[in-house]
Amino acid sequence: MRVSVIGGSTIDEAEAETAAALGRHLARRGHTVVCGGLGGVMEAVCRGAAEADGHTIGILPTDRRADANAFVDEAIATGLGHARNALVVMNGDAVVAVDGGGGTLSELGYAAVYDRPTAGIGTHDAAHVEPVETAEAAVEYVEDAVENSG
């Protein structure tokens, strides 16, 4: 399955490790990471996935594929700025949020609109976001939710 990972573009060391652990866990479970392709949570989750031989897709806000972080396997340039946030969510079967500001909040809104199961680690409190403490718990939640949705 594809899992959209969203979160802050400026993060601390603990948040970076959480996102990297999430990427490693998703890759080990055979899932593809979809993200916004830039820095912060996006880079850390891609780095973690790469460490576990996973596959990553970065849906960029810019019009240059070269703007993607070094751990993105497939870069998709959009030139849409924050409007690309809908595409990040739509291209995942589920969503995991780590930290995040206003951009992440918009993506969480799209997750509700497009009915994507969503787990959150230290992110915004929203009715459709299942708060979890660890990367492993986030992956378990979205796997179960997707499996039981159909």
Average pLDDT over every residue of 84-104: 97
128-136 long-range contacts (CB < 8 A, ≥24 apart) are: 129/97, 134/18, 134/21, 135/18, 135/21, 135/22, 135/24, 135/25, 136/21, 136/25
pLDDT tens column, 5-59: 999 999 999 999 999 999 999 999 999 999 999 999 999 999 999 999 999 999 9
The pTM assigned to this predicted structure is 0.97
- Laid out side by side, the sheet with 56-60 consists of 74-77, 56-60, 32-35, 2-7, 94-98, 118-121, 129-131
Mean pLDDT, the chain, rounded, equals 97
pLDDT band at 150 (very low <50, low <70, confident <90, very high): low
For 2, phi and psi rounded to 5 degrees?
-100, 135
Give me the residues paired with residue 58 across strands. Answer: 35, 75
